[in-house]
Amino acid sequence: MIKIDTAGARTFITDDLYKEGYDKALHAFKQVVDASGPGNNWLGWRRILKQPNDAELERISRHAEQIRDDADLFIVCGIGGSFTGAKAIIDALAPIFSHNGPEILYAGHHMGGKYLKQLLDYLKSPKSNGEPKSVYLNVISKSGSTLETALAFRAIRTWMHEFYGESAKDRIIATTGETGGVLNNIVDEEGYHKYVIPDDIGGRFSVLTPVGLLPVSVAGIDIQTLYYGAVSEYKTNENNPEKILEYATIRYILQKTGYALDVIGSFEPELAGFTGWTQQLLGESEGKEGKGLFPATAMFSTDLHSIGQMIQQGKRNMLEILFVVEKEISDLEISEASTNVDGLKYLEGKSYHDINHSAQEGTVQAHLEGGVPVIKIIIEKLNAQQIGEFIYFYELFTAVYVYMLEVNPFNQPGVENYKQAMYRLLGKK
């Protein structure tokens, strides 16, 4: 179960304001549960946990196992909600430098030509034993028409068809909407394997559909445990949403009283992907009608040496959310040395976990003294179960909090503006 610690933020809010916010949070929570708020046809991320589809989980796991047996490289081609969640889970749970399955690569998440060209060169280059690489491609796009993804997909699948001939179709998997969109036309024409993104689930809420589950399973992560972690957090919060209400109340009142920035950080490098996932989830959901906190990300302690100064003493309009892992992720200790020439003898025998923890607690103290409210979101252990819990916790939190702002969390009308301008410049009819 995900825990929160709001002690470092609660003191920034008067009891009267807290009460006002809490009533609003309760109302917003009911809107989510009763499906009575704006965008209530986009609540499929709750439906799939209420009635888990074990057959689909099984089907994805089996397919992923086949891919793991055969692939050297597995490319996830998508952008925004169509890749951020899978990457966050893989970064959190898969080994960092060695993998006993395929290497997972990403494409279609920007328009950098150098990256795509070098990716193609890498796919084409033989393995160290001289044999060609076995490449699989998972293109993920709910709309089936996002330009970044479509361009990378075209380049990679063209090469795959040239290189693998007929069998390319067994290596290309499309994850897209049930019907419509260019990608569905391509799937129909080429006969690629297809996974469906349910109509009632938007991109940034789709990580527990095949969008996230297939890549994560190919990376060797147990998706049943992950999924049922989310199911357990779903059940916990249906009966007792207190921590969601508390967190939503504090964040709501802070933005109402002039706070503008939410720094989402962690001292665990494994959670960097999740700071990005949360940034997207919150940013695309709340940033509408002139409302919302700007969600910034920070990786500590690295960023204490860059934006740490700003957090400590810059404009006082930010709060900070820290993703904390309680149990140690690694048992690495500071080794003994024969001399104290580096002045580090006092740390000998201490674990990296303890040192990182001291850095974290020292930073919390300093930031509180600097006038920054700090909320901790606590994961007990970094494993598939708790990452599943964390995902649902944040999906529910986002929906409740954004309903408090009285906007629809599930659309992103502003994203269209850059697309229209870009297409105009590119001469699209």
For ligand PA5, give the closer residue by CB, 4 or 207.
207
For ligand PA5, give the closer residue by CB, 327 or 419.
419
Q: Give CA angle at 370 (366, 371), nearest 5°.
A: 125
Say if residues 135 and 159 touch (Cβ distance below 8 Å).
Answer: no
For ligand PA5, give the closer residue by CB, 284 or 320.
284
For ligand PA5, give the closer residue by CB, 27 or 47.
47
Say if residues 133 and 123 touch (Cβ distance below 8 Å).
Answer: yes
> Backbone phi, then psi, for 364, in 5-degree steps?
-60, -45
Query: Beta strand 3-5 with 318-325: parallel, antiparallel or unpaired?
Result: unpaired
Give min distance, CB of 84 to ligand PA5, in A: 8
Catalytic residue among 114, 166, 189, 305: 305
Give min distance, CB of 209 to ligand PA5, in A: 11
For the record, the structure tokens of 111 come out as: 């328009």
For ligand PA5, give the closer residue by CB, 67 or 150.
150
Give min distance, CB of 155 to ligand PA5, in A: 16
Give min distance, CB of 21 to ligand PA5, in A: 26
How far apart, in whole angstroms, are the C-alpha atoms of residue 157 and residue 297? 34
How far apart, in whole angstroms, are the C-alpha atoms of residue 140 and residue 211? 6
Active site residue 124: no
For ligand PA5, give the closer residue by CB, 80 or 308.
80
Q: What residues line the site for ligand PA5 (CB under 6 A)?
A: 79-82, 141-143, 146, 149, 202-204, 284, 412
Residue corresponding to tokens 């060609």: 132
How far apart, in whole angstroms, are the C-alpha atoms of residue 229 and residue 219? 18
Helices 84-93 and 272-286 pack at an angle, to 10 degrees, of 160
Single out the residue of 204, 172, 182, 189 nearest to residue 86, CA to CA.
204
Query: In this structure, how many other beta carbons lie within 10 angstroms of the beta carbon of residue 400?
Result: 29
Query: Beta strand 135-141 with 73-77: parallel, antiparallel or unpaired?
Result: parallel
> Backbone phi, then psi, for 351, in 5-degree steps?
-90, 155
Active site residue 305: yes
Q: For the chain, how long is the longest CA-to-CA vector?
A: 72
Active site residue 315: no
Say if residues 29 and 241 touch (Cβ distance below 8 Å).
Answer: yes
- Residue number of the CB atom closest to ligand PA5: 203
Say if residues 172 and 139 touch (Cβ distance below 8 Å).
Answer: yes
Give min distance, CB of 378 to ligand PA5, in A: 26
Give min distance, CB of 226 to ligand PA5, in A: 20
Q: Mind spelling out the 3-state secondary structure of 213-244?
A: HHHHHHCCCCHHHHHHHHHHHHHHHHHCCHHH
Chain center to CA of 195: 20
Catalytic residue among 3, 27, 419, 428: 419
Give min distance, CB of 83 to ligand PA5, in A: 8
User: What is the residue-wise DSSP string for 383-409?
Assistant: SHHHHHHHHHHHHHHHHHHHHHTTS-T
Give min distance, CB of 45 to ligand PA5, in A: 11
Catalytic residue among 233, 284, 320, 395: 284
For ligand PA5, give the closer residue by CB, 180 or 349.
180
For ligand PA5, give the closer residue by CB, 175 or 363.
175
Q: Could you list the active site residues?
A: 284, 305, 419
